Structures are given as structure tokens and as C-alpha cells.
Structure 1
């Protein structure tokens, strides 16, 4: 019996070492599989959703802009109370446009990105029902389009935008969004050179991609190709 106990202890020790070696080899195998998958472009731990394409979509289809480009910034003011209405009129912050508007915006933003800046959105497509809400709060055609006729925002062809640098800092445009006064006019040249240069960059680039501006708002741009589209009341879903 005195010779059997050391023998049994040795067997147990070898068995434990075998399990440890097996466990280490198994861990090594998992790491190697992970490395192999990663080398093939597959991340087994997390996989970023791919951007959508416009293939098969009609130019008049409404799309969520962020699904087709990750190169924009957003500050959708009408989903907050930080706007001239002092009221939240969108249930949630989303930027939708027609496909043709989205294509033009992505093309324009590519030019901006080449210059180290990008588009930041204050407003995009606006359902006609929201236009009526805005009209109830501010029934003044100088500031809000009459909802009976609708605006190009209601057609998915207008955006309110500014430019930001790659750190998200807004370029100085002279006024905040929805500032209603002469300082916001495009033809006001009595402004510092930096502001005039920033507005010029925004305006000339947008116009080169089929957009046109209005005299009194440096932030507002309409897509010419959307002028004859119908006023819409499409409403996007809000995901809590």
C-alpha cells in the first residue's frame, strides 16, 4: 500500500497536466480561428452595419440620409426646443430626403470633405402636417411657408445646413440658424472676411451640385430638380 499511494499521486498529476495542455491548445485554436476570420475581413466579435446603396430606388423615394453616408453631422433643431418656434415639432430627430436630393448632398459633401469640412444638417424633409404645426405657432409667411401651398422642405428637396470641421466645430457664418435679420442675408457683404469666405464656400459648392439658395437665409438650399415634386406627408418612425 505504501508503494501504491505515490503511484496514484503521479497518475493524478499527469492527468491534470494533460487537461491544462488540452485547455491551452484549445485556447490557441480559438485565437487562431479569430485571427483567420479577421484576416479575411470578418470580425467575429462585432460587425459594423454596412451603408445602403441607391440601387433599385426611384429618385422620388424618401430615404434616411444616415443610411447612405456616414460623412455628415446633424443638429436637427425642430426635434428640440432650440429653434425660433421655441417648440419641439418633430417626434424624433431624423433627416430624410428624396433619393435625388440625397445623391446630390453626398456628392456635394465629398467636395467639402476634400477641403477638410463637412455638412451639418439643421433640417431636412419636413412632413406637411408639421408645416401646419409651425404655421399655427408662427403664421407669418416671411418666416414659415403657408402649409396650404407647402414648401420645398415638404417635397423632400430642401435642407437647412452649415459646415463643420472634422472635430465638429461649426464654421463662423455670422449668425445662428434661423436668425431672421439682414446679417443672415447672402447679399450682406458688410461682414468679416472669414464669414464671407465660409458662406462663399458653402454657396458655391452647393450650387455646383444643383442647389440654389434664397437671399435671406444663408443656411437654406433647394434642389432645383425637386421643385416640381409633390408636397408629401410621409412620416418617419421613431425608435425609442
Structure 2
């Protein structure tokens, strides 16, 4: 081989190594990984109210990474959730999800918001009795979320037939999330004792102050989901994770968008 040929071979080898080491493009990083599905492809009967795609959440604006009001989950979690839905439909209820897979960039958005102590525009509804300086210490905000692993979701119950729900109007007067069901935001769900994402001890699933219909609904939701292979986070009646989640140590960051 001539000297020029050998030089050319070396250059090609170097370029090949550079190409292999090059970081993934933005489109590759944002691609939905294999093993994740859109929930509506597994069970189109489950209702959606994806709050972080809207301004009706504790931050008061759309959260980073939510490009569509979509529920994405691992296939295993979505399939188990379909089992729970079939059981509940037979009892006159449907599930409604508020959040499913949550990208790490959304969690980072929560952290930035929590550190901005001057931004309390949604306090009156979502954390009326909690000082914002306590959100990290009290466990309401963290730098990592199980949602980012793809098998955790936030969910509630709606009575069949489903009643319409009026949209949230940004700037409307806010009512505490623990106010009586007829006074707080008119979600079309059954009474669970508090609204969704209520930063208050009343949101603890087994809080003894929750009685009557709200207690029945919390227990029905938990019993059904536990039977389908999920477990509840004790501090949040709405929060469930698949027992045998396929990615227990992986935190994903692809955006929430239409899948398939």
C-alpha cells in the first residue's frame, strides 16, 4: 500500500470513530423509545385531563416537555391499566388520567418554579397552607420523579355517563383544593376529598379525616389498581406505579407528544 493510501485509510478510520462518538441528534433524543405506547392505543375508553399541558396546575403555565395532551406509558403499565378500567366500567365508573410519563425536563421546570419564591400565582388553589419555602423539605417537589420512568401515572374516577367539564379560565378566582366538592374547581370526577395536586395532608390516601363518599372512592380506586398490579404513593391518593416496572432506574427525557 502506498504512503498516500495508508494516510487515506487512517483518515477514514478517524472519521469513522468520530461519527460513532458523535452525540445523538435532537430528533433522536426526542424519539419515543421502544416499549412505550400511547394509552389510547391500548384502551381508548380511559379519559384524559392532562393538566401539565394546560395552565391549570400548581405552576400556572404549560410545563416544559408537554407538546400534546397525551398519556404515554410503558406497554406493561398501559396494559395493566386497561385491566383496571374493565373492572371499573362494570361498576359504573371510568378512569381519568391527569398525568402519565413525565419527561425530566418537566421535573426540572418544577424545580425552577419552586426556587422562585416570588411566583405564587396558584397558591390559593394548590398549596394554600404551605409556605413555598417548604415544598422541597416537605416532599412536594423533588429533582427526580417516578413518572419519568414511564410506569407511574396520576388518576381518578369519573361516574358514567361522563358529565362535561368546563375549561379552566386563566385568571379566574382560585378556590382551595381541599374546599368542599361543590366549591372547589368543578372537575367532573367523583369526590375524592381534595382536588388533584393538592399539597396538603388531606391528600394522604389514608388520612382519617376523609370519610363518607370520598373515602369509598379512594378505597375503590386503590383496591382496583392494586388488584391490577399497581401500588399507591401514600401521600397522594392519585399517584400509582406498576409493581414490576420495566425501567426502575431509568429517567427518560423525551417529550410528551402523539405516539405512533
Q: 1:172 to 1:229 in 2, by over 3 A?
A: same
Contact 1:60 1:99 in 2 (8 A): no
Give 2:140's aligned residue: 143
Could you list the per-position Cα deviations for residues 30-70 of structure 1 after superposition, in whole angstroms to 9, with x for gaps in the alignment? xxxxxxxxxxxxxxxxxxxxxxxxxxxxx961111112212
Give 1:205's aligned residue: 224
SS of 1:183's equivalent? helix
SS of 2:238's equivalent? strand
Distance 1:60 1:225 in 2: 17
Question: Runs of 5+ in structure 1 lacking a partner?
Answer: 1-58
1:233 maps onto 2:230 in alignment: no
SS of 2:225's equivalent? helix
SS of 2:156's equivalent? strand
Give 2:91's aligned residue: 115
Distance 1:235 1:190 in 2: 38
Give 1:95's aligned residue: 71
- Whichever structure has more helix as a proportion of its residues is 1
Distance 1:181 1:120 in 2: 21
User: How high is the TM-score relative to the length of structure 2?
Assistant: 0.64
Give 1:192's aligned residue: 211
For residue 229 of structure 1, report the CA deviation from its aligned partner: 4.5
Distance 1:84 1:99 in 2: 29
**Which structure's relative contact order is higher, taking Cα pairs within 8 Å and 6+ residues apart?**
2
Distance 1:180 1:236 in 2: 24
Larger CA Rg, structure 1 vs 2: 1
Question: Runs of 5+ in structure 2 lacking a partner?
Answer: 1-32, 116-134, 163-187
User: How high is the TM-score relative to the length of structure 1?
Assistant: 0.70
How many residue pairs match? The answer is 178
